[in-house]
Amino acid sequence: MKLQVTQENLNKALNNVARIAMVNKNALPILNNVLIRTVDNRLSLSATNLEIAITEKIGSKVQTEGSITVPARLMQEYVSSLPSGILELELDEHKLHISTEQYKSTINGVFADEFPLVPEITKGLQLKIPLKDLKKSLQQVVFAASSDETRPVLTGVLLNTQDGSLFAAATDSYRLAEKKLLKTAQDISLLIPASALQELLRVLPENTESVEMHADNQQVLFKVGDIELVTRLIDATYPDYKKLIPTKFSTTATLARDEFTTITKVASLFARESAGSITIKVDEGAKNVSITSIASQLGENTSSADAEVSGTGEVTLNSRYLLDALSALGTKEVSFSFNGKLEPCVLTSKEAPGQTYLVMPLKS
């Protein structure tokens, strides 16, 4: 293999790809490497941890075809340290020589035939999603997935169709996020690891209009521009989360999201020693929402905001979960609804009809 490539393009691609190998927890040493090979007169870089694989192709001037794997961390940090300009890469057996006018280095690699192949998706689902819609929807949902590996079903984001629309949903059993993406006639049900979707969000380019999604029974491929991300699907039945979302409420308050966020943040300062526990009171007579938090060592706080109110009641929540939901909604106004101290609280907005957040109460 012998080729020329710009430092800027190689550095950008390594930043997108190499992280998968650098955070790899697998015992196979080869998975700490990035696969570098020539494909159709372009340079292809790939990394995998056997759960997620990312490949990016970049333009290059190829003189001789070839392939090698090299340590991901060393390669990424070395290339990022070089000045911008043309790099020459030349392979001599298992040694990759990288040179510029001022720098010459040799990185010892491992032959590419030891690198695990990612099975191709040849049949199954195909869907094109506008990039802006996918990116925003994932950002508004993925945070609610669990990081507890003992319950793998909750570490995923469910993409499924209901009544002709595709929804994304995630829950860790304490809170739930749901967002409608688009209308589709296809019957879709994919449970995708949240960690893979976080990687997808990290590498999504800004200058592309849409993302192609291909899936079979075992894995899903996201193809955007010159980047491909493949991940295994979680083989489990997702809980019927729709049953958790109430459709009628005894108490509802509609108020400015910014004001609700501010009084929640202030209350959370006094809720640190009680694991973020805050008590929210909705008062129809006073037409406001007030939040109280108590720290036995530090003091206590009560903050309130004006609201349009129907019904009176109070509920105790985790302030972080409430703040996450308010941040994800991103609207001017928000409606906060519940049916008593032990029932789920639901946050919605007329400005975002396809968006729903649920927070389970704490026992006060």
Task: Please give the Cα distance from 165 to 185 (Å, whole number).
Answer: 8
- One domain for residues 192 and 155: yes
Q: What is the mean pLDDT of the chain?
A: 94
The predicted model gives 96-100 an average pLDDT of 97
pLDDT digits (tens, 9 = 90+) for 9-35: 999 999 999 999 987 666 789 999 999
Q: What is the pLDDT of residues 286-326, one digit of tens each?
A: 999 999 998 777 788 999 999 999 999 999 999 999 999 99
Same domain flag for 304 and 349: yes
In this structure, the answer to whether residues 60 and 103 fall within a common structural domain is yes
Domain finish residue from 215, 241, 267: 241
Choosing from 241, 274, 294, the residue where a domain stops is 241
Mean pLDDT of the 340-349 span? 95
Q: What pLDDT does residue 287 have?
A: 97
Domain range enclosing 26? 2-114
Spatial separation of the C-alpha atoms in residues 174 and 145, rounded to whole Å = 10
265 & 197 share domain: no
Number of domains in the chain: 3
pLDDT-wise least confident of 120-124, 215-219, 303-307, 334-338: 120-124
Domain closes at, from 212, 241, 270 = 241
One domain, residues 105 and 152:
no
Question: In a 10 Å sphere around its CB, with 0-12 CB exposed, 13-18 middle and 19+ buried, how is residue 25 labelled?
Answer: exposed
pLDDT tens-digit readout, 29-77: 999 999 999 999 999 999 999 999 999 999 999 999 999 999 999 999 9
Quick one: which of 100, 108, 38 has its CA closest to 67? 38
Q: What pTM does this model have?
A: 0.93
Sign of CA dihedral 121, 126, 131, 135: negative
CATH number at residue 213: 3.10.150.10
DSSP state string for 51-73: SEEEEEEEE-EEEE--EEEEEHH
